[in-house]
Structure formats: structure tokens, C-alpha cells
């Protein structure tokens, strides 16, 4: 029976992916900053671990507690809508610490095991915002675009050890914490000169009724990435993400 370790399982993509693998008889290690046992059904095949991907000691404790793992899913991330001029570098670093460096740190911590066993899959979850430029997302997009470049280079580096590295690219997902963050004030407008432009962007977002990505779309794509050696390195997840990928 195979084992998957998933980061960021407290909600959204991570929670749905954990449930998806659990329903298909995998051992699931669901990690989150503040562990909650009530988010997933009780199972002998489920473990919930505390993990903060921005804390090296937390990463080492979690990897040690996890034991043998077949698949690592780097899903933990934070969203940010921001006017760049009004964004402190402290906030920029916070976004990169989780979205970019957290993914790299988790991957590096798992690589000795994967290399020695000459097998393993790493699935990094990014975002379709990396496929085309969008306003107020410069910091977030940059943090995710870095993961895309990292993933594609690492895939070549690890082929010699029979370790696969894949990228799942979700589109806009209203039910995730990213949407909650945008609605609850995790928005930095910056100088007054940007106010009119920012409000027009928010208005367009509110009126957008186009196709979206659901958590199940992402869970299905992660499952495919974990189980299908023939799947491409990049996989769009969700109707909007698939349409964006085809247009670039």
C-alpha cells in the first residue's frame, strides 16, 4: 500500500486531495500548521501531522514522523492580492517563504529518501495565474512562477534516480482560502493613486461568472500525476486553467 504526504490539508485543494487518496486505499499523511482530526474521516490509513513549511525544524520533524513515503504533494500556499508599490518587502518575503521556499524545503527534505529508494513522485501545486499576466497579483504570481521553473528543472535532474516531478496548475477556485483572503482583507492597496484601478479590478472579479476550478479537479490531477508515469510535467486542473493553458 502506497503512502502520500500532502501539505496544506486544512482546507481547499489539500483537504480534497487527502480525501481523494484516502478513498482509493492509500495511506495518507495530511499535514497542516494547526492539526485538526475532525476534517477527515477516521481511518487506520490516515495520519494528521503538524507542519509549517516555513520552519526548517517543523519540516524535519514531520518528515521523520512520516517515515517511508511514495508521493510528496506540495500544496501549502497563501494568496495575496496587492498593489506592489504598497506592499512591504516583509509581506513579499512571507508569500515567497510559504509558496516558493516552503515547496523547495519540503522537496529537499524528501529527496534523500526518494533517491535512495530510486522511486518517488513530487507533485507541486501552483496556479494558472502563471500562464498570463493579471493585475494585483505580481507578488503571488512571481512566487508561483518560481515553483514552475524549479519543478521543470528538477524533473530533469531527478530522472536518473527514477523520481518523477510534476506540476498541477489550478485555475480560479472560489471555495479556497485564496478567495477567502481576498474577501476578508488580505489586500494591500498601497498609494491612493491606485485606488480607482484596484476597485475596478475587484469589480470585474466579482462579476466574473466564467468557468472555475473545483477542488475535485485538482485532486484528480494530483492523482493522475502520482500514478501515471506518462502524464506531462505540466497539468492544468479545472476548466478555466485548461482554457488558459491552451491559449498560451
pLDDT of 80: 87
| 185: confidence class by pLDDT, cuts 50, 70, 90 | very low
Q: Domain residue spans in the chain?
A: 3-247
Is 3-247 a domain of CATH 3.40.47.10? no
| 183: confidence class by pLDDT, cuts 50, 70, 90 | very low
β-strand partners of 166: 123
Return the C-alpha cell found at 113.
529518501
Of the listed ranges 20-29, 65-74, 135-144, 169-178, the one predicted with least confidence: 169-178
What 3-state class would DSSP assign to 79? coil
DSSP structure string for 164-179: EEEEEEE---TTSHHH
Q: How far apart are CA 227 and CA 71, in angstroms?
A: 9
Q: At what angle do helices 138-158 and 89-96 cross, to 10 degrees?
A: 30
Of the listed ranges 102-106, 171-175, 229-233, the one predicted with least confidence: 171-175
CB 182 within 8 A of CB 248: no
pLDDT of 176: 56
Q: Calculate the alpha carbon distances from 201 to 137, 160, 204, 212 in Å.
A: 11, 46, 5, 18
| Rounded mean pLDDT, 163-191 | 71
CB 103 within 8 A of CB 74: yes
| Rounded mean pLDDT, 28-34 | 97
CB 48 within 8 A of CB 31: yes
Of the listed ranges 8-12, 22-26, 35-39, 190-194, the one predicted with least confidence: 190-194
CB 78 within 8 A of CB 181: yes
Instruction: List pLDDT tens digits, range 213-237.
Output: 999 999 999 999 999 999 999 999 9
Of the listed ranges 12-16, 24-28, 133-137, the one predicted with least confidence: 133-137
pLDDT of 188: 61
Q: How far apart are CA 150 and CA 235, in angstroms?
A: 15
Choose among 144, 77, 125: nearest CA to 225.
125
Instruction: List pLDDT tens digits, range 123-145.
Output: 999 999 999 989 999 999 999 99
CB 72 within 8 A of CB 17: no
Phi, psi of 170 (to 5 degrees): -75, 155
Residue 77, judged by CB atoms within 10 A of its CB (0-12, 13-18, 19+), counts as buried
- Residues recognised as catalytic: 140
Amino acid at each position: 500500500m502506497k503512502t502520500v504526504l500532502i501539505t496544506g490539508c486544512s482546507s481547499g485543494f489539500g483537504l480534497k486531495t487527502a480525501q481523494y487518496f484516502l478513498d482509493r486505499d492509500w495511506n495518507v499523511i495530511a499535514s497542516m500548521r494547526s492539526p485538526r482530526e475532525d476534517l477527515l474521516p477516521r481511518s487506520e490509513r490516515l495520519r494528521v501531522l503538524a507542519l509549517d513549511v516555513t520552519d526548517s525544524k517543523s519540516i524535519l520533524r514531520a518528515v521523520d514522523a512520516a517515515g517511508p513515503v511514495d508521493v510528496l504533494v506540495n500544496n501549502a500556499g497563501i494568496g495575496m492580492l496587492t498593489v506592489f508599490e504598497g506592499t512591504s518587502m516583509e509581506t513579499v518575503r512571507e508569500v515567497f517563504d510559504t509558496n516558493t521556499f516552503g515547496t523547495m524545503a519540503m522537496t529537499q527534505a524528501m529527496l534523500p529518501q526518494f533517491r535512495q529508494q530510486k522511486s518517488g513522485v513530487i507533485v507541486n501545486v501552483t496556479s494558472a495565474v502563471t500562464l498570463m499576466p493579471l493585475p494585483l497579483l505580481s507578488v503571488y504570481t512571481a512566487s508561483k512562477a518560481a515553483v514552475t521553473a524549479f519543478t521543470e528543472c528538477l524533473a530533469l535532474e531527478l530522472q536518473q534516480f527514477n523520481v518523477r516531478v510534476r506540476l498541477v496548475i489550478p485555475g480560479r477556485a472560489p471555495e479556497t482560502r485564496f478567495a477567502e483572503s481576498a474577501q476578508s482583507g488580505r489586500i494591500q492597496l498601497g498609494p491612493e493613486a491606485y485606488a480607482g484601478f484596484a476597485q475596478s479590478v475587484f469589480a470585474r472579479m466579482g462579476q466574473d461568472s466564467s468557468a472555475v476550478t473545483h477542488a475535485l479537479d485538482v485532486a484528480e490531477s494530483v492523482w493522475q500525476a502520482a500514478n501515471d508515469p506518462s502524464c506531462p510535467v505540466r497539468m492544468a486542473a479545472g476548466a478555466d486553467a485548461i482554457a488558459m493553458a491552451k491559449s498560451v
